[in-house]
């Protein structure tokens, strides 16, 4: 790991894999509150209606689906006994509901997750995110995220929107991220991301042999048929996306040629490097979403790592830069391909 102060005019105007229009600074992380039981005496006017229908009218703050789940799991008592969703109510019954927190309700709680912090001061911290760690809670990943780990290691981040997170890496992409520790620092870092004055360099191993260097200038949008994927698109909804790349070295995995590529992002779109390299015919090794699934045996994730990060410090206003070596599994992959280490 290296930390260098560099001249401002040498910083490359690049960005991250962040969707910039997803940045939200409003609101703070709130502590989880205990949910109190709800006691009801059903009015005679509901006679003849199903239990779930009755409760959806009388307790509108909860969705009918959630109420049905609670009924099925025994968290709704009718006259002291569990009931069924389709049980017909006559009126006059005493109902007690024990609300249960949904997974997303517990998304912003502290969890003891190891973090590899390589730099920290009063304004920012820089960490090396491991592959396999989700950055922010979302559907299917309501716990065990980087955000949860940040709240445990730095509880004061609960006062900063998104626990100071201003950009993200894909779950299976490893590498450098910066986190703001104050609202002022977060606002300034977001401004730099939007202005494209953040330097970010990635190392990627791709199938095939691309040109020695080049630029992909191809707008991107959500894939028209697969909502998990992004794609190069000519849609009016597509957003500009520009990736600069340079081939570093070449090698072979069994009988297949591979190339190590250094990528610099000028814009920040979800999966940008993965989509752009695939659009050229050079998908990332290990990337089963965009690449060659039958070759997944060579690497268990996309071979992509954010290795360099440069920005203007939000307090000192000095340009700073961090760099890290390749991860051990990435090094092993290059060695298997007979390639020199960068």
Query: Which tokens belong to 134?
Result: 């989700």
Is 49 tagged catalytic? Answer: no
231 has which bridge partners?
221
Which of 203, 215, 206 is CA-nearest to residue 308? 203
The angle formed by the CA atoms of residues 145, 147 and 152, to the nearest 5 degrees, is 100
Longest dimension (CA), the chain: 80
Round to whole Å and give the CA distance between 219 and 269: 9
Identify which of 154, 142, 143 has the alpha carbon closest to the alpha carbon of residue 115.
154
- Single out the catalytic residue among 21, 112, 121, 170: 170
| 16: nearest Cα among 231, 234, 190, 213 | 190
**Which of these, 207, 239, 181, lies nearest to 15 by C-alpha position?**
239
Buried b (16+ CB within 10 A) or exposed e, 61-100: ebeeebbbbbbeeebbbbeeeebebeeebeeebebebebe
Enter the DSSP assignment of 136. Answer: S
d(CA 120, CA 56): 49
CA trace torsion 100, 102, 105, 109 (10° rounding): 90
Nearest to 314 by CA among 202, 182, 162, 217: 182
Q: Say if residues 95 and 77 touch (Cβ distance below 8 Å).
A: yes
Residue burial 234-247, b: 16+ Cβ < 10 Å; e: rest: eeeebbebbbbbeb
Catalytic residues: 170
């Amino acid at each position: 790991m290296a930390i260098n102060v560099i001249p401002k005019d040498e910083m490359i105007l690049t960005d991250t894999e962040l969707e910039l229009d997803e940045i939200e600074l409003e609101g703070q992380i709130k502590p989880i509150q205990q949910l109190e039981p709800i006691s009801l005496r059903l009015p005679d006017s509901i006679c003849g209606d199903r239990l779930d229908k009755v409760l959806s009218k009388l307790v509108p703050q909860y969705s009918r689906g959630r109420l049905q789940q609670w009924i099925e799991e025994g968290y709704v008592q009718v006259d002291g006994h569990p009931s069924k969703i389709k049980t017909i109510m006559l009126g006059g019954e005493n109902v007690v509901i024990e609300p249960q927190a949904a997974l997303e309700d517990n998304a912003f709680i502290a969890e003891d997750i190891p973090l590899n912090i390589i730099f920290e001061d009063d304004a920012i911290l820089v960490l090396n995110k491991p592959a396999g760690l989700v950055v922010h809670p979302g559907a299917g990943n309501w716990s065990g995220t980087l955000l949860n780990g940040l709240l445990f290691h730095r509880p004061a981040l609960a006062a900063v929107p998104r626990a100071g997170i201003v950009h993200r890496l894909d779950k299976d992409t490893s590498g450098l991220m910066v986190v703001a520790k104050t609202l002022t620092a977060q606002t300034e870092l977001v401004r730099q991301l939007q202005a494209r004055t953040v330097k970010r360099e990635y190392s990627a191993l791709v199938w095939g042999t691309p040109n020695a260097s080049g630029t992909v200038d191809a707008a991107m949008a959500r894939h028209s048929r697969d909502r998990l994927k992004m794609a190069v698109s000519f849609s009016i909804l597509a957003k500009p996306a520009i990736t600069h790349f340079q081939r570093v070295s070449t090698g072979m995995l069994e009988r297949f040629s591979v190339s190590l590529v250094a990528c610099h992002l000028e814009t920040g779109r979800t999966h940008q490097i993965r989509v752009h390299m695939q659009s050229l015919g050079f998908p990332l090794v290990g990337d089963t979403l965009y690449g060659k699934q039958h070759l997944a045996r060579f690497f268990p994730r996309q071979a992509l790592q954010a290795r360099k990060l440069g920005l203007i410090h939000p307090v000192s206003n000095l340009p700073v830069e961090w760099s890290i070596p390749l991860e051990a599994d990435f090094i092993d992959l290059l060695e298997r391909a007979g390639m020199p280490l960068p």
